[in-house]
Structure 1
């Protein structure tokens, strides 16, 4: 077994040495694809482990402690803020965000593919979330709900969609050529929005913290997987053009 492992590592090393050279025009795509693959595999393992243990006493205890701590900060101002933020993570919020992004994308880049890619990532995350909820079948917390909810609890659809949608926008912003400080500002805003949407669901009493963690992990898996596929398609298209 040890010899087989060494041989496998040598083969991987020879492949990487063959493709990782300074003159390779696809180097950035290849690196992105490899990192994406590693994150997807690692993320799936973490998600499965979390899912298998969500009903155990240890995690249940952490859920209660973290949720009680966050709920203890309830004030009229924070309730209005987190209610607004949670609506940003609803269907209508994403329709508005997609419309704004479509206008900006067309005016700045004269291309619709970024809008189609972002929409695809959001749809994949939303559909898979519905399937996961039905399969895992976890009830909502018994705490007071400050907003109306009708679906199951795990993983959080708001957290999963926010990570997938705004996470993909973070990736696009990273790739776009723009002012450095503007880029940092936009990426920071998206990251804060992702975190705020996740926290809002705990604050409003409709999700356990592990629901949010599971949603973030699942959303990250999908956004990285989609980036992986998009980069592979771009490499293929470049090679066919050449």
Structure 2
């Protein structure tokens, strides 16, 4: 029995060695794609589960409690900060950021594909958010709104776009040939910005916490979907290192 087990382990080991040798640089893309696919499926299931509980009394009570707690921290300074942050999450903010990214991607890294990938995610997130809002048709909170809003509530477009846009930037930056310190600094700033944009929508009274959670989940789903697409493209290229 031990001999058969040892033979099986040796066979698996030999197979893995052959696979690594065969795919070489592509193996990293394959692993990333598999992990992203699992996260993509899990994210969709989580979003559906959250959406199905929107009318439950438990979620309503949780939304109210969290919203009141966040609103209790309102000060002139924080209000100005969150209005500034939420403006960054509006259309004009993304247009300016996208233009800056386009300039950096082209002149610094000479990679037009980064621009195309970022634009692809933006279009997917924006269009799907508008469709989801119309399908789910959830009204805004009755609380005082500190900024003007016109669209429906769920999922939060600001949270969804922040996660999709800056989440994709995190993925792209991880591939940039820059020092580790600058990568960590940029990733930290992006994470703070994503979180701040989401919290700002609750703080300003224009979204339920579940709206923001749904937006984050939906945006994350698009990020991992695009990671799958981008990595599959690299797998099928002749030279995946380029």
TM-score normalised by the chain length of structure 2: 0.90
C-alpha displacement of 1:175: 1.2
Superposition misfits of 4+ residues, deviation over 3 angstroms: 16-20
Q: Which segments of 5 or more consecutive residues in structure 1 lack a partner in the other structure? A: 1-12
What is the aligned partner in structure 2 of residue 195 from structure 1? 195
Work out the CA distance in 1 between the residues paired with 2:216 and 2:67.
Answer: 17
What is the aligned partner in structure 1 of residue 20 from structure 2? 21
Work out the CA distance in 2 between the residues paired with 1:130 and 1:235.
Answer: 32
Alignment of 1:24-103 (within 5 A): 24-25=23-24, 26-103=26-103
Count of matched residue pairs: 227
Work out the CA distance in 1 between the residues paired with 2:37 and 2:83.
Answer: 36
What is the aligned partner in structure 1 of residue 132 from structure 2? 132
What is the aligned partner in structure 1 of residue 5 from structure 2? none
Work out the CA distance in 2 between the residues paired with 1:236 and 1:215.
Answer: 32
C-alpha displacement of 1:54: 1.3
C-alpha displacement of 1:239: 6.8
Local SS of the residue matching 2:236: helix
Alignment of 1:101-112 (within 5 A): 101-112=101-112
Cα RMSD, aligned residues only: 1.8
Alignment of 1:109-124 (within 5 A): 109-124=109-124
Q: Which has the larger radius of gyration?
A: 2
C-alpha displacement of 1:106: 1.3
C-alpha displacement of 1:235: 1.2
C-alpha displacement of 1:52: 0.0
Alignment of 1:165-180 (within 5 A): 165-180=165-180
Work out the CA distance in 1 between the residues paired with 2:57 and 2:16.
Answer: 48
Question: Per the alignment, do residues 17 and 150 of structure 1 end up closer, same or farther by CA in structure 2, a change over 3 Å counting?
Answer: same
Work out the CA distance in 1 between the residues paired with 2:19 and 2:202.
Answer: 45
Per-residue CA deviations over 1:135-180 (Å, capped at 9, x if unaligned) read 0000000000001000000000000000000000000111112111
What is the aligned partner in structure 1 of residue 143 from structure 2? 143
TM-score normalised by the chain length of structure 1: 0.90
Work out the CA distance in 1 between the residues paired with 2:17 and 2:37.
Answer: 19
C-alpha displacement of 1:111: 2.0
Per-residue CA deviations over 1:20-40 (Å, capped at 9, x if unaligned) read 525522110000100110000
Work out the CA distance in 1 between the residues paired with 2:152 and 2:19.
Answer: 46
Work out the CA distance in 2 between the residues paired with 1:121 and 1:60.
Answer: 31
Question: Per the alignment, do residues 19 and 136 of structure 1 end up closer, same or farther by CA in structure 2, a change over 3 Å counting?
Answer: farther
Tell which deviates more after alignment, 101-110 or 201-210: 101-110
